[in-house]
Amino acid sequence: MSLFQTLFFAARLYRKGFRFFFTSTLLLSFVIFGLLAIVLMYQVNVVQGNPTFYDSAMGMISQFFAMSLYILVLSLLYLVGASIVTGYNLSIGEEIIAGNLPDQPVHRLSLKGVTGTFLLFLTVYVCVIVGSLILWVPGVLAAILLPLSIPSHLIEKTDVTGSLVQGYKLVKDRWLKTLLLFTSAGLVASVIFIVLWVSLATLSFVLIGVQGYVVTMFILMMNGAVAYALIEPFLYLTLLSHYYSMYARIGPTADS
């Protein structure tokens, strides 16, 4: 499939299984955004009075290290939750492609599958972040070469190492197309996410009025959770669509 055909196919998958994709992702986003809201509401101290520059600087440094620890914990929790939710969503997408979506789809994820997905998520995130910090080129290469290992692991039941190798085979000689696809999907998702978040937040404040810091932060985070749940499945369905497109391209050699 071409780039636009892949995006269109992902959108069709999303429309057909919307209630499954949205519900599962919303549960994860409520947990993560809710915990983030608690951190922002109770761990970020608003400077009051007339503090000295030294006091302000020390306060910011102490908050930075504290926030870094909280963000790290939330990131790990997100990776665990995303391993489950993404595996579930990809299995639903696979059933839709096969034309076999029941009213209540059977959850076929095993502990081994979830563990492998978590390790792949962790590998992708670490390689992209570390590669980007060292030099942006390795980070971009990791973002192109590694993501297809996730649907490969869930659909073909390969181990973590085999999934990474298979992901590379699928993307080989289609690196530029993969980069353009992921960039396009990311830009579309980012724009829609911002529009949804701002629209939901604006509607909330129009209905209930502007409140204090705690209530305002809670409203913003919950609106962000809904916006995230609406757009995130599209990204993983794009990944699934690209996986099938690349698998069809290399045919039987995918298992060699």
Sign, CA dihedral 241-93-227-69, equals negative
Average pLDDT, the chain: 81
Q: Which of 168, 171, 196, 166 is nearest to 182 (CA)?
A: 171
60 pLDDT band, cuts 50/70/90, is low
Compute the distance between CA of residue 65 and CA of residue 41 in angstroms, rounded to an integer: 17
Confidence of residue 233 (pLDDT cuts 50, 70, 90): very high
> Average pLDDT in the 181-201 region?
92
Tell me what the mean pLDDT of segment 155-179 comes to.
87
Query: Domain locations in the chain?
Result: 3-45+56-248
**Which position has the token pair 């749940």?**
229
pLDDT of 254 higher than 70: no
pTM of the entire structure? Answer: 0.81
d(C-alpha 58, C-alpha 193), whole Å = 35
How confident is the model over 4-29, as pLDDT tens digits? Answer: 899 999 999 999 889 889 999 999 99
Task: For residue range 109-132, list pLDDT tens digits in order.
Answer: 666 667 888 888 888 888 888 877
User: Residue 87: pLDDT band by 50, 70, 90 thresholds?
Assistant: confident
Look at residues 219, 248, 194 and name the one whose alpha carbon lies nearest to residue 41.
219
Distance between CA atoms of residues 128 and 137, nearest Å: 10
CB 239 within 8 A of CB 148: yes
Q: What is the pLDDT of residue 227?
A: 94
